[in-house]
Chains A and B, each alone.
Chain A
Amino acid sequence: GAVVSQHPSRVICKSGTSVKIECRSLDFQATTMFWYRQFPKQSLMLMATSNEGSKATYEQGVEKDKFLINHASLTLSTLTVTSAHPEDSSFYICSASSVRGQATDTQYFGPGTRLTVL
C-alpha cells in the first residue's frame, strides 16, 4: 500500500513558539492532503484540505492564520502551528490522496505527530 510519513513523530515546545509538521507521500503523488487533529478520547476532526499548488480550504472554526498549511509539491505538505498554546496540544494526523479532492479508498494516513505545548 501507499506510504505516508510525518515528521516529527513527537514534539514538545514552549508556549508562544511555532511548530512545523511535515507530511510526505513516499511512493505516490499526493494531489490532495488532509490535516486532522485528535484530542484524547475524541474523534479525528478535519482541520483543512489542501490541493497541490492551491490554498488550503479550512473547516469552520479552524483559524487559518494560526494553522498555516503549505502544499507546494505533490509529495509534501506542511502544517505550521503558529504561536502555539497548551490548548493546541493534540495528535495531528495527515492523510494523502492521489485523487484530487477525494477522500475515499485512496486516502492514506500518516503515523501522526504528538504535539505537546508547555
Chain B
Amino acid sequence: QKEVEQNSGPLSVPEGAIASLNCTYSDRGSQSFFWYRQYSGKSPELIMSIYSNGDKEDGRFTAQLNKASQYVSLLIRDSQPSDSATYLCAVIKDNPYSGGYQKVTFGTGTKLQVIP
C-alpha cells in the first residue's frame, strides 16, 4: 500500500464547475497535510495546508480533512482553465530516522483538466 494515494486522472471538468480531488494516506501518525499545484516542468507551489479535522477555505479552494478515515480532499470552485495542472497531496510526519526531522511524502498527483 502506498503511503499517499491519489487517482492519477486525468480529471476533466468544465469551466466554472467544482473540481474535487481526493487523497488517502496510510500512516495514522501523519500530522500535517498539504495540497500543491504543479505545472508541467515546474516545481510545486503550495495551495493549502490543513492540520485539523474539518474544512479550511481559502478563496476558491477548500481543503477537507478526516483523520479517522485517513482522507484529505481539495475542492476547487469555479474552475478556470488556468487551474489545469497536476495536484499533489503531501503528508508530513516526524521522520524517526533523522532525529525528529519532518518527512514529506507526496502522492503521485492527480492531473486536472478544466475545459473551456
Contact = CB atoms under 8 A, between A and B. Distances in A.
Interface of A: 32, 34, 41-46, 49, 51, 57, 59-60, 91, 93, 101-105, 107, 109-112, 114
Interface in B27-67: 32, 41-46, 49
Given A101-B100, A103-B103, 4 more contacts: A43-B107, A59-B97, A59-B103, A101-B102
Contacts of B75: none
Contacts of B88: 43-44
Contact of A44 (B41, B44, B49, B92): B44
A107 B100 contact: no
Q: B41, B44, B97, B109 — which one has the most chain A CB atoms within 10 A of its CB?
A: B44
Interface string B75-115: 00000000000001000100101111111111111000000
A104 B42 contact: no
A104 B94 CA distance: 11
A112 B43 contact: yes
Q: A42, A44, A45, A104 — which one has the most chain B CB atoms within 10 A of its CB?
A: A44
Interface of B: 4, 32, 41-46, 49, 88, 92, 95, 97-109
Contact of B98 (A43, A57, A109): A57
Nearest to B90: A44
A93 B104 CA distance: 13
B108 to A, nearest CB: 4
A112 B43 CA distance: 6
B44 A105 contact: no
A46 B103 CA distance: 8
Given A44-B106, A49-B101, A57-B98, A110 B43 contact: yes
